[in-house]
Amino acid sequence: MTLAFAGGTHRTVPLDLRERLAFSADQVAEALRRFRDRFPGREVVLLSTCNRVELYAAGGADSAAPSPGQIVSFLAECRGIDERVLAPVLDGDRDEAVVRHLFGVASGLDSMVLGEPQILAQVKQAWAVAQDSRTAGPLTGDLFQAALRTAKRVASETALGRERLSIPSVAVNDFARGVFERFDDKRVLLVGAGKMARETLRYLREAGARDIVVLNRTAARSAELAAEIGGRAGSLADIVAELAAADLVVSTTGASQPVVTLDAFRQAEPRRGGRALVVLDLAVPRDFDPRIGTRPGVWLTAIDDLAAACDANRKSRQREVPAALAIVDEEARRFMGDLHHRSTAPVIERLRAGWSETGDAELERLFRRLPGLDEAARDEIRQAFERYAAKLLHPPLKSLRTASHSGPPHGLLDALKRLFDLKD
């Protein structure tokens, strides 16, 4: 059983390249299908967020997981990026290092905002998509369930995420508040109606925002969110007019091209009357042409601009990191121990089968020599044989289990095979 991963994050991949590498929901499903065809018999989960793209693969003894290099080549091919451009900024690893990395990611230890909770939902979603695409399996299933369990332990046993800070909270509290002292008199334009948009809106409403317009390419989702918050649903076709009236824009779509071009903004600009405009562009790829940020009175913040505020947040939470890492280490060792122990299952099965076969033959011989035994006596003798066999098997099986926690017990397995003449 082997594990491998390759991917990049906000720390290693520049934003312009990360925009090209990002997968939409439909593109994730298509990539999983392509991987299944390219590497039959392997399991795969693809995690794509605004800050990271990572592919996790697993394989058995007869179909090992592809190497990190093969995964990088696959990602480059899927996104139409020259592998020579992508390879230097992507990381990769195998087996136990993969386990520790994923457990840290799910726990928020590798996030731009240390301990942010949104990544846990994104990890769950990535696993769910793999299940729907039939590219997940028993090994990735156990891996991702263990990652979610680790994240829950970190959240409950440390104060790492108690304040539940996230990119939307930093965007609102550190950037929008730096321009506006109050929000109850501001028109908020929300472009996109997904999870990021809803979380950002929650912080804005806590800050006092009430006049909110929701735009989304799916009119039903705009109407649904607007009804929830007592806002107004608009149409993306009217975005120029909405930009002219807005004071603060939050954009979180999954569009592959800018939703607001420089030309579109220039159409709205004369109608704004010189009012200040704060744009929180939290999408990857970006929804707003970055040149809009050079226009007079515009404060445009893209997701990578949040790095300084997130670094300050990270420093304040660093004291919780050792405790969180200890949990990750404990859960990773437990997972690898279980994984190594699972690899002993075929030998254990053959050992038990051999002892059972021998015991059945001896019982049959005994019952032929004692024809007067009734069925109750026979059952008692069978149970005694089974208990005796279980007690004799217990020491070697316990040794296997103990050895598995220190790594693959290859030496002990080979010894058992030779001692008991177990054939492959």
* Per-residue pLDDT band at 365 (split at 50, 70, 90): confident
pLDDT score for 219 = 87
Respond yes or no: is residue 310 known to be catalytic. Answer: no
Least confident of 100-114, 153-167, 320-334, 386-400: 386-400
* Per-residue pLDDT band at 55 (split at 50, 70, 90): very high
Do 5 and 55 form a contact (C-beta atoms < 8 A)?
yes
pLDDT score for 144 = 96
Query: Residues 26, 61: one domain?
Result: yes
Using alpha carbons, select from 206, 191, 198 the residue that is nearest to residue 281. Answer: 191
Least confident of 242-246, 263-267, 374-378: 374-378
Strand order of the β-sheet with 187-191 is 232-233, 211-215, 187-191, 248-251, 277-281, 298-302
Q: Per-residue pLDDT tens for 131-190? A: 999 999 999 999 999 999 999 999 999 988 765 567 888 889 888 988 998 999 999 999
pLDDT score for 52 = 94
Residue 104 clears pLDDT 70, i.e. is over it: yes
Mean pLDDT, the chain, integer: 87
- According to DSSP, the residues that pair with 4 across neighbouring strands are 57, 94
Domain-located, residue 325: no
Query: Residues 204, 273: one domain?
Result: yes
Percent of the chain with pLDDT over 90: 54
Q: Which of 249, 282, 308 is the last residue of a domain?
A: 308
Query: Residues 160, 171: one domain?
Result: no
Residue 1 clears pLDDT 60, i.e. is over it: yes
Domain limits for position 380? 343-419
Domain-located, residue 320: no
Query: Residues 139, 171: one domain?
Result: no
As for how many domains the chain has, the answer is 3
Q: What is the pTM of this model?
A: 0.68
CATH number at residue 247: 3.40.50.720
Domain-located, residue 316: no
CATH number at residue 15: 3.30.460.30
CA distance 143 to 131: 13
Q: Give the active site residue among 6, 44, 50, 225.
A: 50
For the segment 259-273, the average pLDDT, to the nearest whole number, is: 95
